[in-house]
Structure 1
Amino acid sequence: MRTRYNAAITALGGYVPENVLTNHDLEKMVDTNNEWIVARTGIKERHIASDKNTATSDLAVKAVERLLKDANLSPEAIECVVVATSTPDYIMVSTASVVCEKAGLVNAWGVDSNAACSGFLYALTLGASLIESGRYKNVIVIGADKNSAIINYEDRNTCILFGDGAGAVLLEQTTAEEGLIDNVFRTDGSGKEQLIVRGGGSMHPSTTETVSNKLNYISQNGRVVFKAAIEGMTQTCTEVFERNDLNAAQVDWLIPHQANLRIIQAVGEKLNISADHVKVNIDRYGNTTAATIPLCLWDYKNDFKAGDKMILTAFGAGFSWGASYLVWSKLRGQ
């Protein structure tokens, strides 16, 4: 009889650039103020890769190096890397390929996944599937974005929201009832115009016209995205509850995408999960897109204990959204 494997998170790594961009810094750049930003978003500061030679892959590599150190693993032990990102180093050449080269993951193959802010959850289930197949034992899943590369710092509606960062998790085989248990994902392409970077792809290749019209920057209809995020995240979390006979009292932690504190609070309230069971770090990092959930796991890993039931949920461009049910595992070295 074939052994049934689950994919357990057994190590984590995270990285944000040293340069901090505060709300007070933004006051000098655009027509905004600290009080308004905090009240509307919950964000106080975000980390920005100020060195123009720093790419998304560099952020990811830093997170991977910390993960390998904590896991006491050599780079040669990693068999596959899945990178979730909306800001790849290049249009052609996957960021995963660059990460494997820079981090010395000589025995790994790599692939990118682009689902914007939902990217890490989508990549996590892809990585977990490789583990569950029994063919792979050590898979790293990364969420990384250098959002500052696609932000117009003259647009006060978007520049206040986003930061740069990377988070990584190691997936390993387990036969216990832990690890990634279930997912509910949705995609609706009709929402694409509400949160999009129009320039730079095959629809609108980069030209002097796309650059002058600022089409290579993020454009967002905040009101539409705000409402859709609350509805989508709540809906998929509720479906995960129903599919797994869970209720709010049984959930130890809600780990939501860090897009807006008011969205996070609304989803927690609709799910009847108290604020002290919801992990939040948006005040320090802003929205790091695919990196928010793994950065949250890395930030708060010492608060989690084996057997903790977690719901991870996100909403992003596409529209893309969903929720995952995770049972926490003992980390390497604990």
Structure 2
Amino acid sequence: MKTSVIKGIGHYVPERIVTNAELEKYMNTTNEWIVERTGINERRFFNPEVDTVANMSAKASRMAIERAGLSVQDIDFIVFATITPDYFFPGSGVLLQRELGLENIGALDLRNACSGFIYGLSVADQFIKTGMYKTVLVVGAEIQSSTLELNDRGRNVSVIFGDGAGAVVLQASEEKGKGILSTHLHSDGRFAEELYVKDPGSSRKPEERLTTEIIEGPSIRAHMNGNMVFKHAVQRFQEVIHEALEANKMTKEQIDLLVPHQANLRISKYLQEQLHLSDDRVYNNIMRYGNTTAASIPIAMSEAWAEGKMSEGKVVCLAAFGSGFTWASALIKM
């Protein structure tokens, strides 16, 4: 059976840097409060005149394809993870296909929020293993700043999120013991409403689907039960990482680099402590970008790759937890 190897990784973040000090102008918060609770110092917000989810993804994809030593025309299929598509429909996969100048290849969209990129890797890995596709582009991208309430009502959510895109090129290989060793996907819909955006939902009477009250109210904004999310995240992160290790008969000592979803620096630090990993074996960039949901892991991977932390032979573990609740992991031998 073929394996899926990572040939190239890329990312793009908008130019506009929004510091904690800037957020102090809009809401009752402080730099110290934000850093203490999230670890975030700054994040990127998109420029409506320049950035779209599709073209940010195209920039990240071109970087990944170039780093892979391939051409755009080598891409056979696109898997696109986002919860903030440019349009209600169609999905962003076809928009990326158009941006890249590709014709007729398939494009699949996933809406698994913070776990979306790992879900996407798993889907792409199965396509490659079965021989259906040889070279698959997996993308995670979000523009979340346009939905944030920069006021006291939205403070607890708005200080966390940012915009950006990341992409990975997966390609079939005959080399054993290399590439994606395994992926592990889970969900628990009992907690769906603990982290969600309710409106505009389709399960409404036509006259109630998008009213003035909805537009002006909190239901079109992200609702997050922070304590509940944190409690479940620290548990599920650990479980799914150990699941990946056990599936491959490996130990935590064999992890060269853990790249967790950048949800909260406190969660990453807790994981690091529980797994007894040194600072150089955990990659965090939430300080600079905030939580970019489906984009967070590929952005972090791209930076880690550029810094030489994902060189050939390294064992890399990816792990995510988020809305759904969903959680996932992937173990990769570079």
Q: CA deviation at 1:52?
A: 5.5
Letter in 2 for 1:183: T
Asked whether the equivalents of residues 141 and 168 of structure 1 are also in contact (C-alpha less than 8 Å), the reply is yes
Q: Can you give the 5+ residue segments of structure 1 that lack an aligned partner in the other structure?
A: 329-334
SS in 2 for 1:141: strand
Q: CA deviation at 1:55?
A: 2.4
Does residue 75 (structure 1) correspond to residue 72 (structure 2)? The answer is yes
Higher mean Cα deviation, 10-19 or 61-70?
A: 61-70
Asked whether the equivalents of residues 238 and 271 of structure 1 are also in contact (C-alpha less than 8 Å), the reply is no
Q: Which of the residues 86, 105, 109 maps onto 1:108?
A: 105
Q: CA deviation at 1:138?
A: 1.1
Letter in 1 for 2:71: S
Higher mean Cα deviation, 317-326 or 241-250?
A: 241-250
Asked whether the equivalents of residues 3 and 172 of structure 2 are also in contact (C-alpha less than 8 Å), the reply is yes
SS in 1 for 2:220: coil
Does residue 317 (structure 1) correspond to residue 316 (structure 2)? The answer is no
Write the mapping of 1:29-40 to structure 2, written as runs, cut at 5 A: 29-40=26-37
Q: CA deviation at 1:37?
A: 0.8
Asked whether the equivalents of residues 10 and 61 of structure 2 are also in contact (C-alpha less than 8 Å), the reply is yes
Q: How many residues align?
A: 325
2:217 maps to what in 1? Answer: 213
Asked whether the equivalents of residues 112 and 324 of structure 2 are also in contact (C-alpha less than 8 Å), the reply is yes
2:162 maps to what in 1? Answer: 163
- Deviation sequence 1:242-263 (CA, Å, 0-9, x none): 2211111111011100010000
1:257 maps to what in 2? Answer: 261
Q: CA deviation at 1:221?
A: 0.8
Does residue 305 (structure 1) correspond to residue 305 (structure 2)? The answer is no
SS in 2 for 1:300: helix
Query: What percentage of aligned pairs have identical amino acids?
Result: 38
2:246 maps to what in 1? Answer: 242
TM-score (norm 1): 0.94
Higher mean Cα deviation, 99-108 or 87-96?
A: 99-108
- Supply the distance in 1 between the matched residues of 2:311 and 2:70 (Cα, whole angstroms): 22
- Supply the distance in 1 between the matched residues of 2:225 and 2:51 (Cα, whole angstroms): 29
Structural RMSD (CA): 1.3
Does residue 326 (structure 1) correspond to residue 325 (structure 2)? The answer is no
Asked whether the equivalents of residues 11 and 170 of structure 1 are also in contact (C-alpha less than 8 Å), the reply is yes
Asked whether the equivalents of residues 6 and 180 of structure 1 are also in contact (C-alpha less than 8 Å), the reply is yes
Q: CA deviation at 1:210?
A: 1.4
- Supply the distance in 2 between the matched residues of 1:277 and 1:245 (Cα, whole angstroms): 20
- Supply the distance in 1 between the matched residues of 2:30 and 2:292 (Cα, whole angstroms): 21
- Supply the distance in 2 between the matched residues of 1:167 and 1:128 (Cα, whole angstroms): 17
- Supply the distance in 2 between the matched residues of 1:182 and 1:153 (Cα, whole angstroms): 40
Q: Which of the residues 83, 88, 91 maps onto 2:85?
A: 88
Q: CA deviation at 1:53?
A: 6.2
Q: CA deviation at 1:311?
A: 1.1
SS in 2 for 1:117: helix
- Supply the distance in 1 between the matched residues of 2:332 and 2:214 (Cα, whole angstroms): 42
Letter in 2 for 1:5: K
- Deviation sequence 1:4-54 (CA, Å, 0-9, x none): 101111011100000011000001111101111111111000000032563
Q: Which of the residues 256, 275, 291 maps onto 1:271?
A: 275
Does residue 290 (structure 1) correspond to residue 294 (structure 2)? The answer is yes
2:198 maps to what in 1? Answer: 198
Asked whether the equivalents of residues 8 and 66 of structure 2 are also in contact (C-alpha less than 8 Å), the reply is no
SS in 1 for 2:165: strand
- Supply the distance in 1 between the matched residues of 2:148 and 2:257 (Cα, whole angstroms): 32
SS in 1 for 2:131: coil
SS in 2 for 1:215: helix
TM-score (norm 2): 0.94
1:51 maps to what in 2? Answer: 48
2:181 maps to what in 1? Answer: 181
2:234 maps to what in 1? Answer: 230
Q: CA deviation at 1:115?
A: 0.5
2:171 maps to what in 1? Answer: 172
